[in-house]
Amino acid sequence: MMLRCVVHVNTPACKLSDSFRTQLATMVAKRYDLQTENIIVLIREGLRLMRAGTKDACGYIELFGCDAIFDDAEKNREDTTALIQLLQKESGIPLARLFVLMRPQWSTNWGKIGGQSLVMDT
């Protein structure tokens, strides 16, 4: 199983270090019992994001492709807290301006495979 982890922030490009990617992949792999080789991390910095009506520093982490994220509400709370704390530590963005979005399947993405359109199924 593969899991994709995408970090979206409106802070300047290159603010998040390569070690952050490694830490994030390692944390996610441990929490969801995956090999780090099966974790794809994509960092999207310098985005035009707005939260709570302001353009102050903000961001979020999206996890795609791990059904286990919905099995235990308490574990999900612990996981999202740990992920947000890691992103806050690295980016300096206040905790209140960060969140985590979890999606169980890759197929919930828009896109095309082999010329055929994919439709959101959730």
Which residue(s) pair with 117 in the sheet? 112
CATH number for the domain harbouring residue 113: 3.30.429.10
33: pLDDT strictly greater than 70: yes
- What region, left, alpha or beta, does residue 42 occupy, with left being phi > 0 and alpha being psi -120 to 50 degrees? beta
56-90 confidence digits (pLDDT tens): 999 999 988 766 566 677 777 888 899 999 999 99
For residue 74, the enclosing domain spans 3-118
- CB within 8 A of 71, min separation 6: which ones? none
Number of domains in the chain: 1
Closest CA relative to residue 120, chosen from 109, 106, 104, 105: 109
Q: Look at residue 68 in the predicted model and tell me its pLDDT.
A: 58
79-119 confidence digits (pLDDT tens): 889 999 999 999 999 999 999 988 776 544 444 444 444 44
